[in-house]
Amino acid sequence: MNEKIEFSNRLRQAMADAGYAASPSVLEQEFNLRWYGRSISNQAAWNWLNSKAVPTQDKIQVLAEWLKVEPEVLRFGEAVRHSVQEYRQRWDEGVGYLERETFDAFLRLPAPQRKLIREVILTFAQVHGRASRDIAADETRQK
């Protein structure tokens, strides 16, 4: 699906979940009650609900506040949110004192040294990834 269709589906669902009919006139009226800029037209509301346009971020924030949904979820969906949460959780759970101490030391290095260290780490990670794949392939062939 494309992002306009996905946004439109999320907006329609958020309106329904909040107890509103997913119609351009309801969207126009409720949005304009909360928006302090130039009012949107019925056509703009229709475009948002019918996969023709995605509102700007400032308008998404107003929609999200009105519909009681996180702006990033309204704009991008739950999948992006879960991906970010998983990444953060990995950092929260996987980084101990030694890693933090190493990161702090790394950040104190001048930029050229940080670049070199980064390249060394990425090379090790790449080689390790290949080695892990090779071991897994060997184990599969042995079965």
Q: What does the alpha-carbon distance between residue 45 and residue 22 come to, in Å, rounded to a whole number?
A: 10
Q: What does the alpha-carbon distance between residue 115 and residue 7 come to, in Å, rounded to a whole number?
A: 39
Residue 32 has pLDDT above 80, yes or no: yes
Q: Tell whether 84 is covered by a domain.
A: no
Residue 111 has pLDDT above 60, yes or no: yes
Q: Which domain holds residue 40?
A: 3-77
Q: What does the alpha-carbon distance between residue 7 and residue 14 come to, in Å, rounded to a whole number?
A: 10
Residue 82 has pLDDT above 90, yes or no: no
10 and 59 share a domain?
yes
130 or 112: which carries more pLDDT confidence? 112
Q: Kindly state the percentage of the chain with pLDDT values over 70.
A: 90
Specify the pLDDT at position 136.
Answer: 59
- Across the range 49-77, mean pLDDT stands at 95
Q: Tell whether 125 is covered by a domain.
A: yes
Instruction: Residue 9: give its domain's CATH number.
Output: 1.10.260.40
Q: What does the alpha-carbon distance between residue 53 and residue 45 come to, in Å, rounded to a whole number?
A: 9
Specify the pLDDT at position 87.
Answer: 73
Q: Kindly state the percentage of the chain with pLDDT values over 90.
A: 62
Give the amino acid at 120: V
- 84: pLDDT confidence band, cut at 50, 70 and 90? confident
Number of domains in the chain: 2
**Cα dihedral across residues 17, 23, 26, 30: positive or negative:** positive
Contact present, 70 and 60 (Cβ < 8 Å): no
Give how far Cα 133 sits from Cα of 19, 96, 119, 130, 139, Å: 51, 27, 21, 5, 10
- Helical H runs in the chain? 3-17, 24-34, 42-49, 57-67, 71-76, 78-94, 97-108, 111-142
Q: Tell whether 88 is covered by a domain.
A: no
Out of 33-47, 56-70, 71-85, 106-120, least confident range: 71-85
